[in-house]
Amino acid sequence: MTLNLAMITVDTPDALALGGWWAEQLGGEIEADNDGWFVVVAAPGNPSRLGFQKVERPTPGQNKLHLDLVADDVDAEVARLEAAGAEKVAAHTMGDFGWVTMADPDGNYFDVARSEG
């Protein structure tokens, strides 16, 4: 049996707004908006989709899953994301590897690391 990742889904009080924000950040587009209750975002070069599901109250506490993103210039990408409404939470290093933890406009954490290669 083989599993393939089809979508990563995030709960949010405003699926259309957060889906639009992520589409813009990834250079993608909203593929389906389902009247704002479930938004699907497709991004170029990514076989999986991002889903944003409207919920009255997202699960409390730290999110149980997050996005790991890569960029050629982490500092420039972090600055661009901050200008777009994200918040820098912390910078981390482990040996030669470094990444920045950020929060999107709804407070969902995601990481930005240097592209390999």
Q: Is this model's pTM higher than 0.85 or not?
A: no
Q: What is the pLDDT of residues 5-48, one digit of tens each?
A: 789 999 899 999 999 999 999 999 999 999 999 999 999 998 88
**Long-range CB contact pairs, 58-61, < 8 A, 24+:** 58/11, 58/12, 58/13, 58/106, 59/11
Other residues' Cβ atoms within 10 Å of the Cβ of residue 70: 14
Query: 59 exposed, middle or buried (CB, 10 Å; 0-12, 13-18, 19+)?
Result: exposed
Once rounded to an integer, what is the mean pLDDT over residues 85-112?
A: 93
